[in-house]
């Protein structure tokens, strides 16, 4: 029997781990799985914060019953309606028909739309309070972090921010549930990958949410994915990650994302990378778009200032996986990137022209001269690739 885990004397973790699902949102790989986190405050009134994916509703409800210890469930606080968190809502309502569902107006619309539930729904406004007895909850709307109904809930007693998906990570919780019980650094890259793939488009709303958080004393961040953040340095670390990512601020380094059918375009990528290293750029990440999930490429593009894309011409267009990657970058409204590009063709070139259009559409700063290769690497192409690498390195060093 799986039991709830006490965090404080009146606060319980009743989340679950998913080590089965291959793709988050049927898009993003989960080699280390993912957790769905839910929490219960047991006071004069009881309050549950979010539910879990319906696939784990049996384990979740069992944990909830034990945590309640014979009490009824008074409130379900919905910080986020995405089905990996609201999936068990219908079953929960069946088990606790008198529970009050607490959320904002957009939450209520989604509760009706997904579950047909209209009764027992309490609509709250930004800054509204709810007393559980000793505990007082304050609700703060954070729309588009990363759905229109998202909000955060602050507990004034334990100084907890129940943050919804914000500050969440991919990766299961293997034994420990708090940062003090595990090695938190193993989650940082997965937090960046989670942010860049799932939240990445919404930098401005994230900044507005972070402004609201400045008013709080925070002892705990209870996200719906990943560890509970409890240590002061870790809380500042993860808030800093979100602040940096939502400002689209990258570190010194270059991502070279390329497609190559027979290895010729790859030689161009290797040459550019070689010169970057020769010029003292230590973080140079090459991604073959046909082999590496775009999830990791997007993560690295969020991490580093420099982006160089290479593509062969394919059916008078970009190589399909390159084109797909570029559409994902555009969909995240990326900013503040130094951009270079190169392409190849055998009888008619189109890739370089299309990469130029991408640069114009994204308003990235073009660095160096684009390189176009016909058929295979020759001395002039080699030297042009060296020049592109050197130009990017010089640009990054100017930012130091």
Q: Which of 6, 32, 44, 325 is nearest to 188 (CA)?
A: 32
Q: Is the pLDDT of residue 373 over 70?
A: yes
Indicate the SS3 state at residue 34.
Answer: strand
Look at residue 346 in the predicted model and tell me its pLDDT: 87
Alpha helix locations (H) across 98-182?
105-115
234 C-beta neighbours (distance < 10 Å), count: 20
Pairing between β-strand 338-345 and β-strand 304-314 as defined by DSSP bridges: parallel
User: Per-residue DSSP letters for 85-107?
Assistant: HHTTHHHHHHHSTTPEEEE-HHH
Look at residue 345 in the predicted model and tell me its pLDDT: 85
Q: What CA–CA distance (Å, rounded) separates 34 from 190?
A: 10
**Which residues partner with 307 through β-bridges?**
255, 339
pLDDT, tens digit (0-9, with 9 covering 90-100), for 305-331:
999 999 999 999 999 999 999 999 999
pLDDT, tens digit (0-9, with 9 covering 90-100), for 183-242:
999 999 999 999 999 999 999 999 999 999 998 999 999 999 999 999 999 999 999 999
Q: Which domains does the chain have, with CATH numbers?
A: 5-246 (3.60.15.10), 251-398 (3.40.50.360)
pLDDT band, residue 75 (cuts 50/70/90): very high
For residue 120 the two structure tokens come to 């027992």
Omega into 393 within 30° of 0, i.e. cis?
no
18 close to 79: Cβ distance less than 8 angstroms = no
Angular region, 26: left φ>0, alpha ψ -120 to 50, beta rest: left
pLDDT band, residue 1 (cuts 50/70/90): low
Angstrom CA distances, 219 to 7, 168, 216, stand at 12, 16, 9
Q: What CA–CA distance (Å, rounded) separates 315 from 331?
A: 24
pLDDT, tens digit (0-9, with 9 covering 90-100), for 22-58:
999 999 999 999 999 999 999 999 999 999 999 999 9
For residue 180 the two structure tokens come to 């003090």
In the chain, % of residues over pLDDT 90? 97
Rounded to the nearest integer, the mean pLDDT of the chain is 96
Indicate the SS3 state at residue 258.
Answer: strand
Angular region, 21: left φ>0, alpha ψ -120 to 50, beta rest: beta
Q: Which of 382, 253, 254, 251 is nearest to 308 (CA)?
A: 254
Angstrom CA distances, 193 to 25, 201, 309, 324, 373, stand at 14, 13, 20, 18, 33
Angstrom CA distances, 202 to 94, 101, 197, 337, 355, stand at 35, 27, 11, 17, 24
């Amino acid at each position: 029997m799986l039991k709830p885990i006490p965090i404080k004397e009146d606060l319980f973790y009743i989340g679950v781990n998913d080590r089965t699902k291959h793709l988050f949102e049927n898009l993003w790989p989960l080699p280390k799985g993912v957790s769905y986190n839910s929490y219960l405050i047991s006071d004069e009134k009881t309050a549950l914060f979010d539910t879990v994916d319906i696939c784990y509703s049996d384990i979740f409800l069992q944990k909830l019953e034990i945590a309640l210890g014979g009490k009824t469930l008074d409130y379900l606080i919905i910080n986020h309606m995405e089905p990996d968190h609201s999936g068990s809502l219908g079953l929960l309502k069946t088990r606790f028909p008198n529970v009050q569902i607490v959320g904002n107006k957009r939450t209520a619309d989604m509760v009706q739309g997904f579950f047909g539930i209209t009764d027992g729904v309490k609509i709250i406004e930004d800054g509204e309070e709810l007393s559980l007895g000793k505990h007082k909850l304050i609700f703060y709307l954070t729309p588009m972090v990363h759905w229109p109904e998202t909000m955060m809930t602050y507990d004034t007693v334990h100084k907890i921010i129940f943050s919804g998906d914000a500050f969440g990570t991919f990766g299961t919780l293997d034994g420990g549930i708090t940062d003090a019980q595990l090695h938190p650094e193993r989650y940082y890259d997965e937090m960046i990958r989670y942010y860049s793939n799932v939240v990445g488009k919404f930098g401005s709303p994230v900044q507005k949410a972070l402004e609201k958080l400045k008013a709080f004393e925070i002892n705990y961040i209870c996200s719906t994915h990943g560890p509970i953040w409890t240590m002061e340095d870790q809380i500042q670390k993860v808030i800093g990650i979100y602040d940096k990512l939502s400002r689209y601020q990258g570190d010194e380094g270059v991502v070279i994302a390329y497609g190559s059918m027979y290895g010729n375009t790859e030689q161009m990528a290797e040459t550019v990378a070689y010169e970057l290293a020769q010029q003292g750029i230590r973080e140079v990440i090459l991604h073959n778009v046909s082999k590496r999930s775009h999830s990791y490429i997007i993560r690295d593009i969020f991490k580093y200032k420099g982006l160089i894309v290479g593509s062969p011409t394919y059916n008078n267009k970009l190589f399909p996986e390159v084109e797909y990657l570029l559409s994902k970058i555009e969909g995240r409204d990326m900013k503040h990137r130094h951009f270079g590009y190169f392409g190849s063709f055998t009888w008619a070139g189109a890739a370089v022209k299309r990469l130029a259009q991408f640069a114009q559409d994204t308003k990235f700063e073009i660095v160096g001269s684009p390189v176009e290769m016909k058929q295979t690497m020759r001395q002039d192409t080699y030297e042009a690739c060296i020049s592109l690498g050197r130009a990017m390195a010089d640009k990054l060093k100017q930012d130091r």
